[in-house]
Amino acid sequence: MLDIRALRQDGEAIAEALKKRGYELDLEAFRALDARRKDADVRSQDLQAQRKKASKEVGELIKSGMDVEAAKAKVAETLKEIDDQLDGEVERAKAIQEEIRDFLMGVPNAPVADVPAGNDEDDNVEVRRWGTPRAFDFEPRDHVDVGEHLAAGALDFERASKLSGARFAVMTGQLARLHRGLIDFMLDTHTGEHGYQEVYVPYLVGPEALRGTGQLPKFEEDLFKMQGDRELYLIPTAEVPVTNLAAEEILEADSLPRRYTCHTPCFRSEAGSHGKDTRGMIRQHQFEKVELVQLVRPEESEATLEALTGHAEAILQKLDLPYRVVTLCGGDLGFSAAKTYDIEVWLPSQERYREISSCSNFRDYQARRMQARWRNPDTGKPELVHTLNGSGLAVGRALVAILENYQNEDGSVTVPEALRPYMRGLERLA
């Protein structure tokens, strides 16, 4: 969440920055809450001063000749009255602090200065392109047709629907192996070439972890909540458990940067996406992703975003899949992000680029919610880290891109050279 001190000192500038993402910050409401908090604090301090003064009166009464027990009894009445009032003010202050926290938890991150203004994805700004889309000498089919016509119906949505309903897929045979090979290829690249440590994490998390990374409280409808004695949710992305590894911790300076990569299934209800990408594997309730997460010193986060985005791009380059990188405008920016690059891969059937990775710098927004800190050796004091993450990549969408870009007229699919070692040398899906 945003820094409350910054809101007090520079609220107008933050409100102006938030307008870039179409969010109107209610500064008056915040200041009214903060004034009530300050009033409760002042009242508590005044009562504490009164209590201290009343406590001293015992000695003064005794010096004046009053019996010790009588003096204590006289002051005790005053102290009880003050303590009752003090308890009330403490409870009032706690309640106001909760109101302030709830207010701040609902405010998105402020975009950094170079995030372009705009309302939606149409206003995103292209940064670069890599590769040239293939010129087909036949009419390319979409991944659904390609997958369903591979041997033994390798991509099967009908059976998946019988099991779980819409937005699920069953893969068999060579296609299932290719899907698994993609995961191993991505993990091997990020651990072997980009310096990430592979981690394995739970697929179920409690609400505090989701509050830490910003999915709760605002986006609960996008989550799958479990029924049972414990309050647990299926993870929407590995970002949640992996970033929260640092929650409530103080990291030593020489342990930074921390680079984690993690493969997990991801579960999303896709609330609000009715009618969007209903065909195929573009938008599903369950999908696989290889995630990249970094925890860094604040002064390094800007350069880290560029490097992390490059690590995700490297996967597409090795697979020889054309893509472009765009900077998200304020209106398309995720709730917790201060800046995001989307990587979009070329899909021949749609004749357009589609998102396959979002790489974001959250600065200290998530760290403040999680209380993830590092010890600055120059001051010896704990400070908030900066967190970043990105998909490296979304496995299902990478599979979609391969099926469409590497399809052949006879219905087969050429296996990208980078993946053949993971396919026991197989060069073509029949």
Q: Is 239 annotated as a binding residue?
A: yes
What is the rounded distance in angstroms from the CA atom of residue 170 to the CA atom of residue 176? 9
Catalytic residue among 129, 283, 297, 420: 283
Q: Is 352 annotated as a binding residue?
A: no
Catalytic residue among 89, 358, 373, 404: 358
Rounded (10°) angle between helices 27-63 and 4-19? 170
Q: How many residues does the chain have?
A: 430
Catalytic residue among 268, 363, 368, 369: 268
Cis amide leading into 116 (omega within 30): no
Indicate if the alpha-carbon torsion angle 172, 178, 184, 186 is positive or negative: negative
Ordered strands of the 233-234 beta sheet: 204-205, 233-234, 224-225
Q: Is 349 annotated as a binding residue?
A: no
Catalytic (active site) residue 36: no
Catalytic residue among 89, 344, 397, 404: 397
Catalytic (active site) residue 268: yes
**Residue from 404, 390, 429 nearest 346 by CA:** 404
Q: Is 252 annotated as a binding residue?
A: no
Q: Is 368 annotated as a binding residue?
A: no
What is the rounded distance in angstroms from the CA atom of residue 278 to the CA atom of residue 281? 8
What is the rounded distance in angstroms from the CA atom of residue 23 to the CA atom of residue 34? 20
Q: Is 291 annotated as a binding residue?
A: yes
Catalytic residue among 355, 375, 412, 420: 355
Helix ranges (DSSP H) in 204-300: 207-213, 239-243
Q: Is 273 annotated as a binding residue?
A: no
What is the rounded distance in angstroms from the CA atom of residue 125 to the CA atom of residue 138? 32
SS3 233: strand
Catalytic (active site) residue 283: yes
Question: Under 8 Å CB-to-CB from 425, ≥6 apart: which residues?
Answer: none
Question: What tokens were used for 365?
Answer: 């927004």
What is the rounded distance in angstroms from the CA atom of residue 76 to the CA atom of residue 221? 54
Q: Is 356 annotated as a binding residue?
A: yes
Binding-site entries for ATP: 268-270, 355-358
Binding-site entries for L-serine: 237-239, 291, 391
Binding-site entries: 237-239, 268-270, 291, 355-358, 391
Residues annotated catalytic, as ranges: 268, 283, 355, 358, 397
